[in-house]
Amino acid sequence: MTAEQTQKNSLWKVLDITLGMVVMGTVGALIGFVMGGGLLPVAIIVGLALGFVVGFLGGRRFLISIMIGTVLGGALAWLVAGLDRVWVGAGAGAAMGGFLGVQISMLLDMRAARKASSEQVEPSATQP
């Protein structure tokens, strides 16, 4: 691996960690707002820590699905219940986006593994 590739990989790692902290910190803020009672800072800190870990592990698809769920959930809540309940819809949308992101990621990984295993089997089956 060249120095340029190492630098590019570290840049992507920093961007993944930043995305994770922004997305999960926002979700933590939404959860802390719902919980009330002075738990907002705790929820934000836990969200930032989880975002750091998820970003460090490379969960970009997962984080993007949470971000899309947050925006769509907030927009739907705004249309249905008004501006006062956008944060509830955004929190619920983030949860659904995370759930769907995990499921979609699992299915994509299974598909890639199946494709890789079929490519390994085909060449040996055609040889005499």
pLDDT at 77 over 90: yes
Q: How far is CA 69 from CA 36, 64, 96, in A?
A: 23, 8, 6
Domain residue spans of the chain: 3-121
Give tens-digit pLDDT for 80-127: 999 988 988 988 898 899 899 889 888 988 999 999 888 886 665 555
pTM listed for this prediction: 0.74
